[in-house]
A and B are shown apart, each in its own frame.
Chain A
Amino acid sequence: MRLPRLRSTSKPDGAPGSRFLASVRGLGPGSVSSVLKVALDVAYVLLALITGVLLLLLIAAVFIPLDNLNVTVSGDSGGRQLPLTRMLLLFGLGAVTAYFGGFMLILRSLRRIFRTLTVGDPFHPHNVRRLRQIGLTLAVVTGGVWLAQGFVAARLAPGVMEPQGIGELLTPVFSVLIVFVLAEVFREGARLRRESELTI
C-alpha cells in the first residue's frame, strides 16, 4: 500500500531563521535525515571495526604473558606504578569492548530509524521497538560504565580513580527517560498512521 507523503504544513513566517528552517527538508530523499544517515553509516562501520579489533585483543589478552608488566598511572598527586594484572587487562578490554559494542547496537538501531526517515515514513511501527532498544542499550551502557568505574576504583586499582557519585548518573538517566518518552510518542504516531491507513 502506498503511504501518504508527509508534508510540512507550517508556513514560513517573517523571521529569517524560521524561513530558513522551513526551506530545509527534514524527511525524504536528499533531506537532512539522508545526510545524517550517511554519517551514521560511516560511524557504524568505524565502530564495528574498532569493536572487532578490541574483541581480537580481548581474545589475545588471554594468552599474553603478563609477568613484570607495570603501567604508570598519572594523577593530580603525580605518577604511580601499578602492576598490570591479567584480571585488570581482561576487565579493561572487556569493558571497553562492551562499551563500543553497546554504542554499535545503538547506531544500528539509529541507522534503521533514519532509513525510514529518508523514505518519508517516520512513524513506521518498527521504530517504536528500535527506540526502546536504544533506550535500553543506553541505560545498560551508561549504567555499566558507572559500575565498572566504581569497581576499578574500589577493587582493581584503588586510589587511582575516584568512584563516581550518584550525581554522575543524572544526565544518563534523563537521556534514557527522554528516549523512552520519544518511543511512546512514536508509538502514538504509529497508531495514528495505522488509523489513517485504514480510513477510506
Chain B
Amino acid sequence: MAIRVQLDRVLVERRMSLTELADRVGVTVANLSILKTGKARAVRFSTLDALCRELECQPGDLLAHEPGPPEAFADDAE
C-alpha cells in the first residue's frame, strides 16, 4: 500500500514496546501488530487520536505516503 505506517520508528524513538502502547491505547497487541506491519486497511480517527496522545506525536509522524501505482483492491473475501 502507498501509505506506510511508521509505528516502529516512533516506538524506538519513544523507547516504548508494542505491548505497553497497546495497554495505553486500549487496542490489542494483535491489532497494533497488523497496523505496524502495514496489513491494516484503515485506521479509525479514535485510534489515531489515542496513538498520537500516548506517543506525543502528530499523525504525520506515524504515516507516510510512498508514491507508486495504486494497489488493486484485493477481494479476499473467499
Residues of A within 8 A of B (CB): 1-2, 125-126, 128-129, 187-188, 190-191, 193-195, 198-200
Contacts and interface: CB of A to CB of B under 8 A. Distances in A.
B42 interface: yes
Contact of A128 (B32, B41, B47, B78): B78
Interface in B22-66: 27-28, 30-32, 34-35, 39-44, 47
Q: Which of the listed residues B31, B34, B47, B77 has the most CB atoms from chain A within 10 Å of its own CB?
A: B77
Given A200-B31, A200-B35, A190 B40 contact: no
Contacts of A195: 41-42
Contacts of B71: none
B78 to A, nearest CB: 5
B35 A194 contact: no
Interface of B: 27-28, 30-32, 34-35, 39-44, 47, 75-78
Given A199-B44, A200-B43, 11 more contacts: A1-B30, A190-B77, A190-B78, A191-B75, A194-B76, A198-B39, A198-B42, A199-B42, A199-B43, A200-B31, A200-B42
Contact of B77 (A2, A125, A198, A199): A125
A134 B47 CA distance: 41
23 contacts: A125-B77, A128-B77, A128-B78, A129-B78, A187-B78, A190-B77, A190-B78, A191-B77, A198-B34, A198-B39, A198-B42, A199-B40, A199-B41, A199-B42, A199-B43, A199-B44, A200-B27, A200-B32, A200-B34, A200-B35, A200-B40, A200-B44, A200-B47
Contacts of B75: 191
Contacts of A200: 27, 31-32, 34-35, 40, 42-44, 47
Q: Which of the listed residues A126, A129, A199 has the most CB atoms from chain B within 10 Å of its own CB?
A: A199
A20 B39 CA distance: 43
Contacts of A191: 75, 77
Nearest to A189: B77
Contacts of A193: 77
Nearest to A2: B28
A103 to B, nearest CB: 25
Contacts of B41: 195, 198-199
Contacts of B47: 200
A187 B77 CA distance: 6
**Among all A-B residue pairs, the 10 with the closest Cβ atoms:** A190-B77, A198-B41, A191-B77, A199-B42, A200-B35, A200-B40, A200-B31, A125-B78, A198-B40, A200-B47
Contacts of A194: 76-77
